[in-house]
Amino acid sequence: MLSYRHAFHAGNYADVMKHVVLTALLRYMTRKDSPLCFVDTHAGAGGYDLQSDYALKNEESNLGIGKLWYVKDSPEPIAAYLELIRQFNDGDQLLRYPGSPWIGAQLLRAQDRLMLCELHGSDYPLLQQTFKRDRRVHCFAEDGYRFSKGLLPPAERRGLILIDPSYELDGEYETVMATLVALHRRFSTGIYAVWYPILDDRRTALLRQCVDKAAIRDVLNLELTIADREIHPGMYGCGMIVVNPPWTLREEMKLALPWLASALGQCNSSGFRIEQWVAE
């Protein structure tokens, strides 16, 4: 895990999908005046230079945000997300890409809090530097799986918890689901968003089995596939498991995901899936 640097992947299609969902969730949650808490278990550096050696090595952003940068007409959930990316760049050129913490900080209000966990020795100082003047933000050089349990339930009694690890460790799928179950026991009314890569049917099925076995209700699964797995070995799509999704999310994703599949797809078999894994 500590060898992983998200800078290699910043702005790729997986980031786009994840941040479209995150934007939709936070925009819904901030409709109410009451405060809320955003917990990010794997926060990263907070923002990324797309001209860095890391980003240019594989140029993954070219297949993600790079395809959308000049789009003028898109569904409302996509347009709201793109407006944030343009704010982060503060100009006509796509030079930088924000992490989930920055998106959260832009959408949350003065009465809200952000709790950010990042264990990587290089990324944590960058995260701290990004938010050093923002009193709403608290950064922790801690293992997000373990430390996030002590952050729940939040004093605000309203919260969004993002679980977005690298999935590079053996058994990490099981760790992710065990963490989700443990956090949900402490704070059952929170909204949870769990990102995962789509590598093969077996691993996705494992996540589904873990959800089915857990005492968790109201689970929506969202998936985006952009490549043919027979031609492109490795990650050919990504998904997000959302626990306690807002009632608006399904309809927003019915607009956003087919549009993303068309805009970012690399083959005729690109597509999307919206499934209620567990009923309310």
Looking at residue 45, which CATH number applies to its domain? 3.40.50.150
Asked if residue 1 is part of any domain, the answer here is no
User: Length of the chain in residues, anyone?
Assistant: 280
Catalytic annotation, pick one of 15, 49, 164, 228: 164
**Amino acid at site 85:** I
CA distance 1 to 164: 12
Q: Residue 164's pLDDT is what?
A: 95
Q: Residue 232's pLDDT is what?
A: 67
Question: How are the residues of the chain apportioned to helix, strand and coil, as percentages rounded to the nearest 5?
Answer: 40, 20, 40
203-225 b/e with 16+ CB inside 10 Å = b? ebeebeebbeebebeebbbbbbb
Instruction: Tell me whether residue 233 is exposed, middle or buried, using C-beta atoms within 10 angstroms of its C-beta: 0 to 12, 13 to 18, 19 or more.
Output: exposed
Q: Tell me how crowded residue 280 is: count the other CB atoms within 10 A of its CB.
A: 8
**Does residue 164 carry a catalytic annotation?**
yes
Asked if residue 243 is part of any domain, the answer here is yes
Asked if residue 19 is part of any domain, the answer here is yes
Token pair, residue 236, equals 């050919």
Whether the CB-CB separation of 273 and 234 falls below 8 Å is answered with no
For residue range 119-141, what is the model confidence (pLDDT) as tens digits? 999 999 999 999 999 999 999 99
**What is the residue-level pLDDT of the chain in tens, covering all 280 positions?**
455 567 788 999 999 999 999 999 999 999 999 999 999 999 999 999 998 888 778 789 999 999 999 999 999 999 999 999 999 998 899 999 999 999 999 999 999 999 999 999 999 999 999 999 999 999 999 999 999 999 999 999 999 999 999 898 888 999 999 999 999 999 999 999 999 999 988 888 999 999 999 989 999 999 999 988 776 678 899 999 999 999 999 999 999 999 999 999 987 878 999 999 999 9
Domain range for 164 is 6-278
What's the domain count of the chain?
1
Q: State whether residue 115 is helix, strand or coil.
A: strand
Asked if residue 201 is part of any domain, the answer here is yes
Token pair, residue 194, equals 């769990």
Whether the CB-CB separation of 39 and 159 falls below 8 Å is answered with yes
For residue range 142-189, what is the model confidence (pLDDT) as tens digits? 999 999 999 999 999 999 999 999 898 888 999 999 999 999 999 999
Alpha carbon distance, N-terminus to C-terminus of the chain: 34
Angle at 268 between CA 263 and CA 272, to 5 degrees: 60
Whether the CB-CB separation of 4 and 166 falls below 8 Å is answered with yes
Whether the CB-CB separation of 68 and 94 falls below 8 Å is answered with no
Residue owning tokens 């993600």: 64
